[in-house]
Amino acid sequence: MFGCDNENCWVYIRSSRPGGALYVGVTNDLSRRVWERKEGRGSEHAQRYGIDRLVYYENYPDMRDAIQRECNLKHWSRASKTKLIFDMNPAWRDLCEDLNM
């Protein structure tokens, strides 16, 4: 349950737009999760605020580590999460294109 095949545990941040609403999540299949969100499936919060852009992600070999990181990020300030996104993705472009979906 806690392992991930081929080191495919992901912590990710989605956004509605640069500076918009943020959502922090964890998954063992990032491509599938992004596709589900693009199709309008997922949390009511994400649907309500149009949070459908993948703007940040990190890879972990173990789901326990990924879940711990997700929990930590959820407690970060908005400014800290924004800086994390900006450092990886200064244009806040939708990174789903990088996933070869």
CATH number for position 78: 3.40.1440
pTM score over 0.85: yes
- Split into its structural domains, the chain has a count of 1
Q: How confident is the model at residue 100 (pLDDT cuts 50, 70, 90)?
A: low
pLDDT at 87: 97
- Separation of CA 21 from chain center: 12
Show the domain range for 32.
5-99
Encode pLDDT of 37-84 as tens digits.
777 777 787 778 888 899 999 999 999 999 999 999 999 999 999 999
Residue with tokens 């596709």: 35
Residue 7 pLDDT > 80: no
Alpha-carbon separation of residue 54 from 2, 3, 93 (angstroms): 24, 23, 8
- For residue 56, the cross-strand partners are 13
